[in-house]
């Protein structure tokens, strides 16, 4: 199901990487796809969810279309940190799920702040509300650090290397510790697990340095 987009006449195209945003007379007029250089013209505008750094420096838009001051200010925007994720499929009965909440927030030490390293985790167990998300007798969950993972720890690594796999195991220990506070025997229940890192964000979501977004604090900058 595609929801409101298709309900109102929209079309969702998957596997359609955008090669470039087309600009004519200072206005974005459409996009060119990498597949056969197909051009899709916009009726009103082009809406982009690229980060400011990807928009300005990836080559998807010719830099000459941006005023120098806009480009400089954009590239100087401080990037926020990235994430570490664990996605799990695990064994759980309907009765066991009924005793769980759908969402949890864990803070180890409030005095350190929610943005401190290995101090805060968010846990979502959507199977609590929708058992159809997993086969009978199973459930799914997602636990992650809320934009507190430094990209610098990962940027030099080859994601196919043993060093990368070892760091995934090391950095995920905090999340496992938090998980066992909610489901003490979770490791014995797991049937499938996937660990996502800042490199995962950068690769699959095409996010600059795996960043959540600009590191702008309310009341201090805009």
Residue 7 has pLDDT above 90, yes or no: no
**Dihedral (CA of 160, 53, 51, 78) sign:** positive
Whole-number average pLDDT of the chain:
93
Query: What are the pLDDT digits (tens) for 130-155?
Result: 999 999 999 999 999 999 999 999 99
| Consecutive H or E run containing 105 | strand 103-107
Question: What is the pTM assigned to this prediction?
Answer: 0.82
Query: 99's torsion region: left (phi>0), alpha (psi -120 to 50) or beta?
Result: alpha
Query: What are the pLDDT digits (tens) for 43-78?
Result: 999 999 899 999 998 899 998 999 999 999 999 999
Q: What's the alpha-carbon Rg for the chain, to the nearest Å?
A: 21
Q: Judge whether 82 and 147 are in contact, CB under 8 Å.
A: yes
Banded model confidence at residue 100, pLDDT cuts 50, 70, 90: very high
Give exposure, 11-21, as e/b (b: 16+ Cβ within 10 Å). Answer: eeeeeeebebb
């Amino acid at each position: 199901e595609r929801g409101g987009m298709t309900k109102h006449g929209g079309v969702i195209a998957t596997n359609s990487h955008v090669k470039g945003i087309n600009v004519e007379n200072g206005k974005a007029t459409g996009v060119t796809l990498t597949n056969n250089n197909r051009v899709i013209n916009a009726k009103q505008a082009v809406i982009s969810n690229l980060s400011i750094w990807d928009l300005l420096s990836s080559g998807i838009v010719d830099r000459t279309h941006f005023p120098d001051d806009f480009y400089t200010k954009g590239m100087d925007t401080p990037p926020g940190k990235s994430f570490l994720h664990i996605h799990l499929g695990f064994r759980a009965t309907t009765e066991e799920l009924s005793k769980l909440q759908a969402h949890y927030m864990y803070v180890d030490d409030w005095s350190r702040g929610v943005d401190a390293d290995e101090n805060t985790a968010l846990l979502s167990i959507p199977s609590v509300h929708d058992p159809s998300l997993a086969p009978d007798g199973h459930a799914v969950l997602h636990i992650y650090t809320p934009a507190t993972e430094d990209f610098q720890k990962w940027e030099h690594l080859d994601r196919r290397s043993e060093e990368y796999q070892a760091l995934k195991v090391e950095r995920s220990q905090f999340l496992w510790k938090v998980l066992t506070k909610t489901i003490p025997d979770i490791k014995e229940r797991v049937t499938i697990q996937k660990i996502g890192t800042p490199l995962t964000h950068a690769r699959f979501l095409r996010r600059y340095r795996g960043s959540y977004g600009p590191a702008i604090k309310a009341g201090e900058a805009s």
